Structures are given as structure tokens and as C-alpha cells.
């Protein structure tokens, strides 16, 4: 690793793209999502682990890494015996590819390294997650109707963030050299990844995609939830943590439970182990959530909101499809990043 005396010239545009995407709750929740730009034929700048997209600057929130080393290393991980071993080896690969000191590289950096586009933006878009749950043919037609024919469209099945997502994405890479100027990767139960030759092209595509889909599903009818602390006697209450009430607004009916539809929901909450739960559904629009700080509960509430919104609309449309149980178990074993900070 080495010290970098100054930010690469592309860092300012990267930070502006990141903040634009990160300040929209329907695109990113908590520290979900990631952005990157390839600087040359070996190195790329990618968001660091644990930070939120809306918080980065040209000087802070990124790492420099060797994307060719990641590309070459991902196929070799298949020799590992099981999912957990692959995950550990993948994290070691990411760490060894990092050029800069300081913040860790994000778990999702492998996806960015594999994609051929100079600019890549991965977001946990509500619109994109709804497309990932609808029938593939319908989703494909809708995407092309909004974005035109100069589009590569890829449909990736549910995957564990990290090596598993990279492996499933790699199977589609042979079809991603078509010369199209825009790539859209639908990551089922997870979000979307955009790839293009410029940051401006990605922002234009996001606008063309998000507006009509949000209007189609009436997402403006579902404002974010209200958060307030619960009485201190709520138990169990581990030391240093507080129970909060997170209440979705009245209006259209909400349809959700704790069945995980999103990778973020499985990562943020401990509902699938022997530990006491940190998320309790109180009624059809209220959850009690355990958190360690105001920032912590803000992130948890955002993920709960996304989960409730995607669950509600997909159930009403008849295409709700939860994460496979083995994926949920594997997500809980991820070691690189704290679950409260997403992926």
C-alpha cells in the first residue's frame, strides 16, 4: 500500500455523482450502494466501506485499488470448498488489491472491477428492485421503452453480496462487449448497477429510468417513516442501545412482514439466529428497532422503509419473491463490513 498525496482528477466528478445518488432515499438507504471510476488500464477509484454515498467528497470516502488484480483473482476463488471459504478468500483478494492506506475497500468493489465500463454506479433503487421482482420479459420491455435501444440489459439472479454476486455477474460478461453506451444490470432482491463511459450519461439514464417507474407505482404516496425512542423499560435492552419506534405514514395500505425481500434487510437485522431479535413488527405499519446511536437508527429505518415499500408493491402486484433461505444465512456470515453499515 502507499500514501496518495492528492486525489486523482476524476475524484471531483466521482464525488458529485456519489452525492447526487446518495441523497435520494429511493436510490440509496443507509450506506448501501457504491460508485467507481476506472482511472487507467489497472487502477480504479471506488467508495470505501461503511461510508454513505451522500457523505463522500473528492478528498474523503474513496480507496484506490487494482481492478485487474481483482478481475484475475475472482475466477480462482471457485476452488474454495464452501460459501464461507469463498467469502473469506474474496475479502483477502480485495484487501490485497487496495493501493491506498486507511479505509477498507467496499465488499461490492468486485462487481465494479468486473464490469467493463469506465464509470459504474450501483444503487439499491426501489424502482430497480421492483423491476427485479417482476417477470423478466416485462422488466426488459419496460427498461428498453425508457432507455432506448442503445442499452445492454442484464438479469442477475439473487446473490450473496461479494463473491457470489461477482460469480453470477461474470457469467454475463461475454455479452457485455456489444458497443452499447449504457449497461443496466438488474440485481434481483438487491438493486441495480449502471455502467457507461461518463458520469453524466449515468445520471441521465437514472433520471430517465426512475421518474416513470416511480410514477407508475405511485411511490410518492409512501413518504418515509417517523422515528422516536421508546420507553426505557422496553426489553431486552443491551447496554448502550435504545429501542426506537419506526412508524410508516398513514395512507395506502402497507403489506409487509419480516420475510426478507432485500439483501440489505437480511444484513441489517438479526432475525435469523439464536440472538434476541433487534427488529419487532408491532403492527401493519410500525416496527420496534434496536439501535446504538441516532445515525444507527436512521440507517435501520431507511432499510426498513425500503423493505416495506418493495414488499408492499410487489405483493399487491402478485410478484413478491423473498430471498432464498440459504442466501439469508450466508449474508449473516459476511465478515468484511458491519451489518449496520450495509455492503
User: What are the grid coordinates assigned to 238, written together?
Assistant: 443491551
Q: Is the pLDDT of residue 282 over 60?
A: yes
pLDDT at 178: 65
Closest by Cα among 129, 89, 96, 167 to 262:
129
Q: Is the pLDDT of residue 196 over 80?
A: yes
**Strand-by-strand arrangement of the 286-291 sheet:** 226-229, 242-247, 286-291, 279-283
pLDDT at 54: 96
Closest by Cα among 286, 305, 291 to 341:
291
Q: What is the percentage of the chain residues whose pLDDT exceeds 90?
A: 79
Helices 126-133/199-217 angle, 10° precision = 70
pLDDT at 96: 96
Per-residue confidence band for 197, with pLDDT thresholds at 50, 70 and 90: very high
Mean pLDDT of 235-252: 87
More confident residue, 210 or 86: 210
Q: What homologous superfamily is domain 11-217 in, according to CATH? A: Class II aldolase/adducin N-terminal domain (3.40.225.10)
User: What's the CA angle centered on 122, arms 117 and 128, to 5 degrees?
Assistant: 115
Mean pLDDT of 304-314: 98
Q: Is the pLDDT of residue 231 over 90?
A: no
Mean pLDDT of the chain: 92
25 within 8 A of 71, measured Cβ to Cβ: no
Mean pLDDT of 127-131: 98
Residues with Cβ < 8 Å from 239, sequence gap 6 or more? none
Phi and psi of 336, rounded to 5°?
A: -75, -40
Phi and psi of 187, rounded to 5°?
A: -100, 100
pLDDT at 84: 81
- Sorted by where each begins, the domain ranges of the chain are 11-217, 220-341
Mean pLDDT of 248-259: 94
Q: Is the pLDDT of residue 28 over 90?
A: yes
Q: Is the pLDDT of residue 2 over 50?
A: no
Q: Is the pLDDT of residue 200 over 90?
A: yes
Q: Is the pLDDT of residue 247 over 90?
A: yes
pLDDT at 296: 95
58 within 8 A of 154, measured Cβ to Cβ: no
DSSP-based helix, strand, coil % in the chain, nearest 5: 40, 20, 40
Q: In this predicted model, what pLDDT tens digit does every residue of 57-98 receive, in sequence order?
A: 999 999 999 999 999 999 999 888 787 888 889 999 999 999
Q: Is the pLDDT of residue 159 over 80?
A: yes
Q: What is the percentage of the chain residues whose pLDDT exceeds 70?
A: 93
Q: Taking the model in full, what pTM does it have?
A: 0.94
Measured torsion, CA atoms of residues 267, 32, 187, 93, in degrees rounded to the nearest 10 = -80
Which residues pair with residue 37 across a beta bridge? 45, 119
Closest by Cα among 73, 213, 159, 267 to 172:
159
Per-residue confidence band for 4, with pLDDT thresholds at 50, 70 and 90: low
Amino acid at each position: 500500500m502507499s500514501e496518495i498525496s492528492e486525489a486523482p482528477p476524476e475524484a471531483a466528478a466521482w464525488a458529485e455523482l456519489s452525492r447526487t445518488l446518495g441523497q435520494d432515499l429511493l436510490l440509496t438507504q443507509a450506506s448501501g450502494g457504491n460508485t467507481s471510476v476506472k482511472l487507467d488500464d489497472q487502477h480504479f477509484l471506488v467508495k470505501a466501506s461503511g461510508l454513505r454515498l451522500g457523505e463522500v467528497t473528492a478528498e474523503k470516502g474513496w480507496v484506490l485499488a487494482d481492478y485487474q488484480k481483482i478481475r484475475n483473482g475472482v475466477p480462482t476463488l471457485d476452488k474454495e470448498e464452501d460459501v464461507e471459504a469463498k467469502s473469506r478468500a474474496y475479502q483477502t483478494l480485495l484487501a490485497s488489491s487496495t493501493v491506498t492506506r486507511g479505509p477498507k475497500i467496499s465488499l461490492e468493489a468486485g462487481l465494479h472491477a468486473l464490469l467493463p465500463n469506465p464509470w459504474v454506479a450501483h444503487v439499491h433503487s426501489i424502482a430497480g428492485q421492483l423491476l427485479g421482482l417482476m417477470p423478466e420479459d416485462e422488466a426488459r420491455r419496460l427498461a428498453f421503452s425508457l432507455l432506448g435501444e442503445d442499452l445492454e440489459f442484464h438479469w442477475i439472479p439473487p446473490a450473496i453480496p461479494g463473491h457470489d454476486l461477482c460469480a453470477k455477474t461474470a457469467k454475463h460478461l461475454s455479452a457485455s462487449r456489444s458497443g452499447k453506451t449504457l449497461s443496466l444490470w438488474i440485481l434481483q432482491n438487491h438493486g441495480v448497477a449502471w455502467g457507461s463511459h461518463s458520469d453524466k450519461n449515468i445520471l441521465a439514464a437514472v433520471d430517465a429510468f426512475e421518474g416513470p417507474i416511480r410514477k407508475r407505482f405511485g411511490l410518492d404516496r409512501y413518504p418515509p417513516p417517523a422515528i422516536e425512542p421508546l420507553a426505557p423499560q422496553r426489553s431486552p435492552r443491551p447496554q448502550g442501545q435504545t429501542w426506537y419506534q419506526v412508524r410508516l405514514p398513514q395512507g395506502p395500505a402497507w403489506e409487509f412482514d419480516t420475510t426478507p425481500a432485500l439483501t440489505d434487510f437480511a444484513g441489517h437485522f438479526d432475525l435469523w439466529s439464536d440472538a434476541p431479535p433487534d427488529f419487532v413488527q408491532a403492527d401493519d405499519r410500525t416496527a420496534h428497532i434496536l439501535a446504538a446511536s441516532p445515525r444507527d437508527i436512521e440507517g435501520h429505518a431507511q432499510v426498513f422503509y425500503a423493505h416495506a415499500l418493495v414488499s408492499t408493491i410487489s405483493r399487491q402486484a402478485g410478484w413478491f419473491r423473498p430471498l432464498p433461505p440459504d442466501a439469508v444465512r450466508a449474508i449473516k456470515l459476511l465478515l468484511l463490513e458491519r451489518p449496520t453499515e450495509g455492503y
